[in-house]
A = this chain, B = another copy of it.
Amino acid sequence: MSATVINYHGAMSRWPSNPRGRLQQAAMELFTEHGYDQTTVAGIAERAGLTERTFFRHFSDKREVLFFGGEQLEAMMVAALRSAPPEATPLGAIEAALSAVTEFFDERHPLSQARQVIIDAHPELQEREGAKMDRIAGALTEALRARGVPDPDARLTADAGIAVFRSAFAQWVRSDVGDMSACIEECLATLEKVIEQGR
């Protein structure tokens, strides 16, 4: 049943070939060992048994190797939002989207922590992370519009939801227990509190 094989490059891996995964693994290792700046794409490719050119066939740029998979997250959230009951409020639908990914994160707590250490040390990576969040916010906005939520309500609700997600994630990734849904709930309640407290 084990899928360990020898491919035609002589490399051994859990799944046949899987060059993208090998590149991601190699990148994480090198970023952790020597830092992001000190790591070259050529170095990552070499450790993965591939060439620099192939790296750029799998990832649009050097940063992307750390963020690949964000589309999956986006898809999960959008799907959850779509399957929320039609009578749900915009904020309720957003809450459903956030809740849909807590399990995904709880299963990857150590990996997320290692990743965050790298990102926190490099502004260009934080920039990319923000861009990914913006992308998700845009997708959620679109999904809310599809539910009949007008503008600017849709965008503001989605952005507020992403703000909750970011605060919750920051809290979750720092903690050791790793209960993402509790963090979401707390941050969402906090947002409601500061808004209802008024200006």
Neighbour of A157 across the interface among B152, B186, B194, CB < 8 A:
B194
How many copies the complex holds: the figure is 2
Pick from A123, A171, A190 the residue with the most CB of B within 10 Å. Answer: A190
> Which range contains the number of A residues in contact with the other chain?
35 or more
Q: Name A188's closest neighbour in chain B (CB-CB).
A: B199
Q: Name A198's closest neighbour in chain B (CB-CB).
A: B89
Contacts of A123 in B (CB 8 A): 131
Q: Name A88's closest neighbour in chain B (CB-CB).
A: B199
Bound form: Cα–Cα A165–B123 in Å: 23
Contacts of A190 in B (CB 8 A): 152-153, 156
Bound form: Cα–Cα A197–B123 in Å: 37
CB distance from A88 to the nearest CB of B (A): 8
Pick from A95, A153, A194 the residue with the most CB of B within 10 Å. Answer: A194
Assuming the A-B contacts A190-B153, A190-B156, A193-B153, are A199 and B95 also in contact, with contact meaning beta carbons closer than 8 angstroms in the complex? yes
Contact flags A99-132 to B (C-beta < 8 A → 1, else 0): 0000000000000000000000001001110110
Bound form: Cα–Cα A186–B170 in Å: 30
Assuming the A-B contacts A91-B195, A195-B196, A197-B90, are A152 and B131 also in contact, with contact meaning beta carbons closer than 8 angstroms in the complex? no
A-B pairs, 6 with minimum CB distance: A159-B163, A92-B199, A127-B131, A195-B195, A152-B167, A130-B130
Known contacts A90-B197, A130-B134, A163-B163; can you find 9 more A-B pairs with CB under 8 A? A88-B199, A89-B194, A92-B198, A123-B131, A126-B134, A130-B131, A152-B170, A156-B164, A188-B199
